[in-house]
Amino acid sequence: MSGILASMIDGLLIGSVYGLAAMGLSLIWGVMDVINLTHGSMIALGMFGMYLLFAAIAGNPYVLLIPVIAAGLLLGILVYWLSVNWVVGRSQLMSLLSTFAVNMMVIGIGTAIWSTSPYNVDFSLSGITVGAYTFTGNHIAAAISALLIALLLEAFLYHTRAGKAIRAVADNRDAAELMGISSTRVLMVAFAIGIALAAASGALVSTLFPFTILSGAGYQLKSFVVTVLAGLGKPFGALVAGVLLGLLEGAVSPFIAVSWIPLIEFGLFVIVLIFFPRGIFGKATA
């Protein structure tokens, strides 16, 4: 196996986790027109949720994802009522400031509790070796988990009444309300799902790399790149774009210093904004 192929497979595996993280941001952005700046801190809370559960129970972390997602949903409802409900429908600056304030509170409390020292979820699955290259079991399991969660979200949005209500509100909030859909409840559920997805992606990242309460910021930035790549409000596009971003990282890293990769990513971000302002999966409006 060549180094480039191995690097691309590594990129593909981590890219699916980027995609899952971006799905949460994209869902909230698309349905509510709210740019959720708590996203990074919610990813970090997902990491610590997994760490605490694993330390307490020492179970399989992929099973522990279920309580992390459940806690993410509850936290999402709480954050929605605290900071988002009041600013829905108002200027985006209001929602930016409101969610930024919550983000700073979470970071502050998290720093007081856990400091900014690195933590690890000490769990490893045996990987798959092809020639000289080994793909770790944790990366493979994280990618499979991310894809499964994405499929479950798709099933929810397209095959349940609540999911259809979310899509209806995203398409046309006024029309959905005229059809008897409670938009406030739908927005709350959409926000909670977005936070749960962020927490789930954080929990998966915690099985791969060490983390601190500040670690979510880097993934939040990647989520923005992925969301813009996919087009705003396109959760499944975000998953595909996340995988593409991972593949891109893998494809270029054999040829340039790894520390240059963020430059490539954000260069791509600017190019997409200029030439494809609706994202690579976005439709042009008439």
CB of 14 to other proteins, least distance (A): 7
CB of 226 to other proteins, least distance (A): 16
Integer Cα distance of 188 and 203 in angstroms: 22
Integer Cα distance of 270 and 286 in angstroms: 24
138 binds other proteins (CB under 8 A): yes
Closest CA to 29 of 99, 86, 82: 99
Report how far Cα 131 is from the mean position of its chain's Cα atoms. 33
265 binds other proteins (CB under 8 A): no
| Contact of 226 with 24, CB cutoff 8 Å | no
Binding mask 235-264 toward other proteins (x if CB under 8 A, else -) reads --------------xx--xx--xxx-x---
223 binds other proteins (CB under 8 A): no
56 binds other proteins (CB under 8 A): no
- The dihedral over CA atoms of 199, 212, 259, 13, expressed in degrees to the nearest 10, equals -30
Write the secondary structure of 23-56 as one string of H (helix), E (strand) and C (coil). HHHHHHHHHHCCCCCCHHHHHHHHHHHHHHHHHH
Task: Out of 60, 92, 115, 160, point to the residue binding other proteins (CB under 8 A).
Answer: 115
CB of 75 to other proteins, least distance (A): 24
CB of 117 to other proteins, least distance (A): 5
CB of 144 to other proteins, least distance (A): 17
Whichever of 183 and 253 has its CB closer to other proteins, that residue is: 253
285 binds other proteins (CB under 8 A): no
Task: Out of 117, 178, 283, 286, point to the residue binding other proteins (CB under 8 A).
Answer: 117
Integer Cα distance of 202 and 20 in angstroms: 9
Q: Which residues in the chain belong to E strands, given as ranges?
A: 128-130, 133-135
Whichever of 77 and 140 has its CB closer to other proteins, that residue is: 140
DSSP label at 58? -
Binding mask 198-217 toward other proteins (x if CB under 8 A, else -) reads ----------xxxx---x--
Integer Cα distance of 74 and 246 in angstroms: 30
85 binds other proteins (CB under 8 A): no
| Biggest CA pair distance of the chain | 61
CB of 106 to other proteins, least distance (A): 16
139 binds other proteins (CB under 8 A): yes
Closest CA to 235 of 11, 8, 21: 21
Give contact residues for other proteins (rule: CB under 8 A): 2-3, 6-7, 10-11, 14, 111, 115-118, 124, 127, 129, 132-134, 136, 138-139, 208-211, 215, 218, 249-250, 253-254, 257-259, 261
